[in-house]
Amino acid sequence: MIIKKFEAETETEAMLLVKKELGKDAIVLNMKTIRPRGIYRFWRKKMVEITAAVDDNVSKDKAEGQTIDSGLRKADNLQPASNTKRFMDFLESEDRLGTLSTGTSENAIEKKLNNLQELLEQQIKEKPEIKNADNKAEEKQDACIELIQEQLINNEVDQVFVKQIMDEISKSIKKDSSVDSVLSSVYQKIILKLGQPKFIELEEGKRKCVFFIGPTGVGKTTTIAKIASNLKLKQKAKVSLITSDTYRIAAVEQLRTYANILGIPLSVVYTKEELEAEKKKYEDYDILLIDTAGRSHKNNEQQEDMKQLIDTIPEDEREVFLVLSATTKYKDLIKITERYSEITDYSLIFTKLDETSSLGNILNVKLLTKAPLSYTTWGQNVPDDISNIDAQSIAKKLLGGND
């Protein structure tokens, strides 16, 4: 894993630097505003600092120009080092260089993980094998790894993935690595594994058709209403709603209510021909959001209908979001995602985060399907209870933190 900090005047500029140097697969670990300090602070602008990371093998293939690996060493005179060491050294080197760091770095990753670290240290101290051990440092590290594993399993991360994460970080931690560096390594690894998210982005001159598919009752229609509101009210987009859910009597009315409130058109389509006609009708719109009926992944005929409907829109004009509830059992999620993968590629939306305290399924399904994560929802309120996936918050919760 390669980690580096980037500073720029705006978030967009900082992200461009990240993409340029680390490639498009880089993941944001942390973002904060840095306020200038010292006597020059009144003349200096606030800067945005992004800490980003990328897996070594990815960066070599994808980054433009020099790899970050060589860049890092050149910049900081570092020898090739373990991930954690490189990260810690990098943070230190920045302070040494006296950049615009806040010094106390209130939002730094380590700070965010502080509570967790204290909790871990406390639990480690209570372990009888630590109290009596001769070689405390090693025993302490083993206990720390064990507790982290337990925490991930408690949060229902699949054992296979827990092992994978721990195996990968074990290569980078040394015998005498402290609790906080082990914790940081796992945290960063999880964020990398949650991957590059994919959101709905409007493109000038390109109308998008976005399908929302998934099992019954997961929150497809409610999520569409939330997304439509945000697109219309915040991004001033020209949005049209289409529903092909003609199976449930109340389904059309549910969406019509939202369409009326938002003042956007709603069409009902029964066949793929009708969908094609609606597509033409809304040629000058920015985006068509298409609701579908909840389907049982076990019903082959329904799955075939769904495939035909989606295939009405050519691949380069459509986006598909598979909506899943975070409360569904992982065993069922495996079957559901497999069936939908046979129909189409998709990005993942997780709903009902408010109804579960274990977020392991988000990581499990991401690693299983390799599909990008996108939005999460945590309540019934339209348009509020939705946001872009927050990998940092999920990683922290998986490790036992609150937020």
Ligand X SMILES: Nc1nc2c(ncn2[C@@H]2O[C@H](COP(=O)(O)OP(=O)(O)OP(=O)(O)O)[C@@H](O)[C@H]2O)c(=O)[nH]1
Q: By CB under 6 A, name the binding residues for ligand X.
A: 216-222, 245, 248, 251, 294, 351-352, 354-355, 377-380, 385
Residue number with CB closer to ligand X (83 or 223): 223
Q: Verify binding: residue 377, Mg ion, rule CB under 5 A.
A: no
Q: Give the binding-site size for Mg ion (rule: CB under 5 A).
A: 2
Q: Verify binding: residue 221, Mg ion, rule CB under 5 A.
A: yes
SS3 6: strand
Q: How far is the CB of 375 from ligand X (least distance, A)?
A: 10
Residue whose Cβ sits closest to ligand X: 294
400 binds, among ligand X, Mg ion, none (CB under 5 to 8 A by kind): none
Q: How far is the CB of 382 from Mg ion (least distance, A)?
A: 13
Residue 98: closest CA among 12, 8, 34:
34
Q: 263: which residues sit within 8 A by CB, 6+ positions away?
A: 232
Residue number with CB closer to Mg ion (32 or 220): 220
Q: Verify binding: residue 222, Mg ion, rule CB under 5 A.
A: no
Residue number with CB closer to ligand X (330 or 378): 378
Residue number with CB closer to ligand X (312 or 377): 377
Q: How far is the CB of 353 from ligand X (least distance, A)?
A: 7
Among the listed ranges 14-22, 81-89, 110-118, 219-227, the one in contact with Mg ion (CB under 5 A) is: 219-227
Residue 262: closest CA among 118, 382, 124:
382
Residue number with CB closer to ligand X (161 or 211): 211
Q: 330: which residues sit within 8 A by CB, 6+ positions away?
A: 156, 158, 360, 361, 364, 365
E strands, 347-391, are 347-351, 373-377, 386-388
Q: How far is the CB of 299 from Mg ion (least distance, A)?
A: 16
377 binds, among ligand X, Mg ion, none (CB under 5 to 8 A by kind): ligand X
Residue number with CB closer to ligand X (101 or 221): 221
CA 368 to chain centre: 15
d(CA 83, CA 380): 41
Tokens of 230: 């945000």
Residue whose Cβ sits closest to Mg ion: 221
E strands, 269-345, are 287-291, 318-325
CB 284 within 8 A of CB 293: no
d(CA 111, CA 117): 9
CA 280 to chain centre: 34
Q: How far is the CB of 328 from ligand X (least distance, A)?
A: 12
Residue number with CB closer to Mg ion (220 or 397): 220
Residue 110: closest CA among 188, 1, 50:
188
d(CA 291, CA 215): 12
CB 30 within 8 A of CB 84: no
Residue number with CB closer to ligand X (173 or 227): 227
248 binds, among ligand X, Mg ion, none (CB under 5 to 8 A by kind): ligand X
Q: How far is the CB of 323 from ligand X (least distance, A)?
A: 6
Among the listed ranges 111-119, 165-173, 212-220, 362-370, the one in contact with Mg ion (CB under 5 A) is: 212-220
Q: How far is the CB of 228 from ligand X (least distance, A)?
A: 12
Q: How far is the CB of 220 from Mg ion (least distance, A)?
A: 5
355 binds, among Mg ion, ligand X, none (CB under 5 to 8 A by kind): ligand X
Residue 124: closest CA among 93, 100, 148:
148
CB 65 within 8 A of CB 11: no
CB 29 within 8 A of CB 188: yes
The length of the chain is 403
Backbone φ and ψ for 324, nearest 5 degrees, come out as -130, 145
Q: How far is the CB of 290 from ligand X (least distance, A)?
A: 12
Residue number with CB closer to ligand X (383 or 400): 383
Other C-beta atoms lying within 10 Å of the C-beta of residue 48: 18
Among the listed ranges 40-48, 82-90, 98-106, 215-223, the one in contact with Mg ion (CB under 5 A) is: 215-223
219 binds, among Mg ion, ligand X, none (CB under 5 to 8 A by kind): ligand X
